[in-house]
Amino acid sequence: MNPASLIPLAEPLPIPWVWFDVLLIVTFTAHILFMNALVGSAAIGLFRAFRGNDKIAYDVGQKLPPLLALTINMGVAPLLFLQVNYGHFDYVSSVLMGGWWLAVIAALMFSYYGFYTYKFGYDSLSKGKRNLLFLFSLAGLLYVGFMLTNNTTLMLVPEMWTKYFEQSGSFLNLDDPTVYPRYLHFMVSAIALGGLFIALLGQMRKVDEYVETGMKWFVHATLLNLAVGTWFLMSLPRDIMLGFMGDSTPATATLIASLVATAMLLMAGFKKRPKEATVWAVLTVFFMACTRHWLRTFYLAPWFKIESTPVTHQYGSFYLFLGFFVVGGALIAYMVKLYFKSRQGRA
C-alpha cells in the first residue's frame, strides 16, 4: 500500500500559512514553559518528600492544581494551530493510536484531581498516602507526555501508518529510534525548569534553601539534557540530522541560537541568579520550539509542503481573533493586577 494514499487532502487556509506557524511556535513556547514548571517541580517535590523533606513538596503541591490548569489551557492554542496547518497528519496519527490517545483525557483528569486532593487533604492524609497520591498523579502526567511524543512523531512518518492494517488495530510509534530521546529531552528539561521555578519561589519568599535547591537541580538537569539532546540529534535520519549541521541555514541557525542561549542560561545558573536564568530559559525554549518546527518541516518534506496549501484570503476570522486576543489579554492583565493587589491588602 502506498502511504501517500492515506494522507487526507489539505484544506484551504483563510490567510497565509506563515501566520499559523508563527502563532504555533509562540503558543507552544508558552505551553512548554508551564508544562516544565508543572512536571519538573512535581518531580523534585516528590523526590524531596521520599527523602524525608516535606517542606518543598508541600509548597510545590499548593501550586500544582493551578499550574496544571494553566498548562492545559496554554496547550489548546498550539494544538489548534497545529491542526490548521498540519491537521491532515495529526488527525491520522491520533486515530491510529486509538485508545492510547483517548486515555490521555482520563490521565489528565486523574492527575488534576490527585493534585487537588493532595493540596486540600494534606493534613488529613498520612505521609505514605500523600506520597503515593503524589506519585500516581505525576505518573499520569508522564503518561500524557509519552503519548504526545508518540503522536507528534507518528504524524511525521506516514510510511509507518500501514502498520495499522498489518496488525489490525491501534499502535504506538515505539519502533521509531527518536521517540525515547525526544521524550527524555522534554522530561529532563522539565526537571531543569522545575528547579528554576522552585528557585524563583524561594527568591520571592526570601528562602535561601529553595534558591539553593532549585538552582542545583536546574544546572545539573540542564547539563544532563545537553547529552540527551545530542542523543536525540544523532538518532535522527542522516539527511535530517545534516539539515541541522549546515545543510539548512535557518535550521542550523536556530539550533546554534538555542545552544548559545543554553550557555548563557548555565552561566546564570552557576551564579545562582534565578531571574536572569529565567530570561535565558524563555529564549532557549523559544529557539528550541523553532528547531522543532524545522524538524517537522524536514520530516514532512517528501509528503507535504505547506507552501502548496491554497489560501482563500478571508481575513475576517483573523481580525476577529486578534480583537479577542487584545481584549482578552487586557482583561487577564487587569484580573492579575487585582489579584496581587488583594494579596497585598490581606498581608
How many other C-beta atoms lie within 10 A of the C-beta of residue 48? 19
Tell me if 199 sits within 8 A of 274, measured CB to CB.
yes
Considering only residues 340 and 306, tell me which one the structure prediction assigns the higher pLDDT. 306
Q: Is position 105 within any domain? A: yes
pLDDT, residue 344, reads 58
Q: Is position 217 within any domain? A: yes
Tell me if 314 sits within 8 A of 14, measured CB to CB.
yes
For the segment 86-108, what is each residue's pLDDT rounded down to a tens digit?
Answer: 999 999 999 999 999 999 999 99
Mean pLDDT of 158-182: 91
Q: Is position 266 within any domain? A: yes
For the segment 293-317, what is each residue's pLDDT rounded down to a tens digit?
Answer: 999 999 999 999 999 999 999 999 8
- In the structure grid, which three cell numbers stand for residue 167, read together? 496488525
Global pTM value: 0.93
Q: Is position 2 within any domain? A: no
Query: How many structural domains does the chain have?
Result: 1
Going by the DSSP 8-state scheme, the letter that residue 160 receives in this structure is G
pLDDT-derived band at 329, boundaries 50, 70, 90: confident
Distance of CA 248 to CAs 18, 197, 215, 295, Å?
Answer: 18, 35, 35, 11
Mean pLDDT of 70-78: 93
Mean pLDDT of 187-199: 97
For the segment 269-284, what is each residue's pLDDT rounded down to a tens digit?
Answer: 999 999 999 999 999 9
State the Cα–Cα distance between residues 40 and 36, nearest whole angstrom.
Answer: 5
Residue 293 CA, chain-centre distance (Å), reads: 13
- In the structure grid, which three cell numbers stand for residue 32, read together? 512548554
Q: Is position 142 within any domain? A: yes
Distance of CA 255 to CAs 18, 31, 140, 261, 327, Å?
Answer: 20, 20, 31, 10, 35
Residue 80 CA, chain-centre distance (Å), reads: 15
pLDDT, residue 236, reads 97
Q: Is position 4 within any domain? A: no
pLDDT-derived band at 166, boundaries 50, 70, 90: confident
Tell me if 222 sits within 8 A of 192, measured CB to CB.
yes
pLDDT-derived band at 140, boundaries 50, 70, 90: very high
Tell me if 214 sits within 8 A of 195, measured CB to CB.
yes
Q: Residue 341 above 90 pLDDT?
A: no
Q: Is position 203 within any domain? A: yes
- CATH number, residue 200: 1.20.1630
pLDDT, residue 343, reads 63
Supply the range of the domain harboring residue 304: 12-324
pLDDT, residue 316, reads 92
For the segment 315-324, what is each residue's pLDDT rounded down to a tens digit?
Answer: 998 899 899 9
Q: Is position 339 within any domain? A: no
